[in-house]
A = this chain, B = another copy of it.
């Protein structure tokens, strides 16, 4: 079983919640990657929607849009996920989901999200889409695993990441300050990406703030992702950009193309940055 599938394995609880477990291998520094938490939230909501739609008639299996608000940092350990159906329609269903962890004084909410599910396979025509940038193949990109082990976030043991050489100045202390970071990504254990793991992919690259010379922790306040297609097997290519940084908040946009060059998900997040003082 792949590490990601293990992270998505949830057990129904008597209180209507789902119990999951996220190990420290999904950490960025000492908190679980937000993208993985979003994937867990989406998995729980997808299952709850399938249940309410009736056994054998899962018609809305794919996240089309998900908006997650990050209330506190998720730590390695048990997570309790509470999905709730808001509306079930013919072509889409919508619900909300909260992720909690136990604290010393009771449950602490980590993430609350709204999401709409549908069927990505039902309508696959592409009328307009941003073209994938012209970039070198993975073999000609910078392998993130070559960084000193103590500088790599724990989660990088789960992902292969090959950074576009034109955007890696920050690695060597010379950020380009264009607001662009991009590279190829896949699971280390060979699992292919799917609609749910794309919610991880949009939030698993080094933050674009690094390219602006802003280091440290860049906590996400809110992230909304629009999943546009099932990804083909193999690498995905992730491009992060940002053009707005004001009042201590920056926007970070992600676009992800699959190995066939099809746009499969795009997202925008609002994140807090600590500007140099």
Contacts and interface: CB of A to CB of B under 8 A. Distances in A.
What is the oligomeric copy number? 2
A154 to B, nearest CB: 26
A27 interface: no
A104 interface: no
Nearest to A273: B127
A268 interface: yes
B246 A129 contact: yes
Interface size class of A (residues with CB under 8 A): 35 or more
Given A69-B116, A109-B86, A64 B221 contact: yes
Interface in A191-247: 212, 221-222, 224, 226, 228-229, 242-247
Contact of A67 (B130, B222, B248): B222
A72 interface: yes
**Dominant SS at the A interface?**
strand
A94 B69 contact: yes
A214 to B, nearest CB: 9
Interface stretch (A34-42, A117-125, A135-143): A117-125
6 contacts: A67-B67, A87-B109, A96-B96, A112-B114, A116-B221, A130-B244
Interface of A: 64-65, 67, 69, 71-72, 86-87, 92, 94, 96, 109, 112-114, 116, 120, 122-130, 179, 212, 221-222, 224, 226, 228-229, 242-251, 263, 266, 268, 270, 275
